[in-house]
Structure 1
Amino acid sequence: MSNDLKDLLDFPCRFPIKVMGEQHPDFQTTIYEVVRVHAPDLERVDIVARDSSGGKYISLTVNVMAVSREQLDSIYMALSSHAMVKVAL
């Protein structure tokens, strides 16, 4: 992330992370646990789920209270490397 982009965020701040994957009964719980390692104050109400029109995929918006760029980088790395996650934005 360039310094210009880094300056756009004033920490701490609420930061939405989009996570997409195939429908699975444990997807939301798994993503909650992965993110909570890096954002211990995350609550289940901070996650909003939306199914795709065909029902094959699920999209989560995870609203974290970000305290640093490094924390966000850690969350993205953990999500991107998880087998259930197709995309993390």
Structure 2
Amino acid sequence: MSEQNPPKIEFPCPDYPIKVLGDAGETLYSLVLEVMENHAPGFDAGKITVRDSGKGRYQSVTVYITATGIAQLETIHKDLRAHPAVKIVL
């Protein structure tokens, strides 16, 4: 059986999606905006999508950025996961 390697990303990578799942409310949305403005300036805020869970307790916020490298993506994930309102970052 051959080993499967994850697909390689070529940078810069336009329209790279980042999905953040967490507690519903303005805090999650504001956090995502703040982190993206810090680490991916110039991202298209008009492409952000927000979806509520069935019972409205949780939300997913998806944003598309131009990923410039692994270090940028790791920093974004680290900063998002550090907040208690965030449950998962994909």
One-letter identity of the residue aligned with 1:61: T
One-letter identity of the residue aligned with 2:78: M
Q: Any unmatched runs of 5+ in structure 1?
A: none
TM-score for the superposition, normalised by structure 1: 0.84
Map 1:1-89 → 2, pairs under 5 A: 5=6, 8-13=8-13, 14-89=15-90
CA distance in 2, matches of 1:82, 1:27: 9
TM-score for the superposition, normalised by structure 2: 0.83
How far the C-alpha of 1:49 sits from its partner, in A, is 0.6
Can you list the C-alpha shifts for 1:17-68, whole angstroms capped at 9, x where unaligned? Answer: 1101111123212211122211011232131111101111000111111011
Q: Any unmatched runs of 5+ in structure 2?
A: none
Whose Rg is larger? 2
One-letter identity of the residue aligned with 1:58: Q
CA distance in 2, matches of 1:37, 1:49: 20
Number of aligned positions between the proteins? 85
CA distance in 1, matches of 2:36, 2:83: 11
Given that 2:20 and 2:61 are in contact with CA atoms closer than 8 Å, whether structure 1 keeps it comes out as: yes
Given that 1:46 and 1:64 are in contact with CA atoms closer than 8 Å, whether structure 2 keeps it comes out as: no
Identity %: 36
Given that 2:48 and 2:63 are in contact with CA atoms closer than 8 Å, whether structure 1 keeps it comes out as: yes
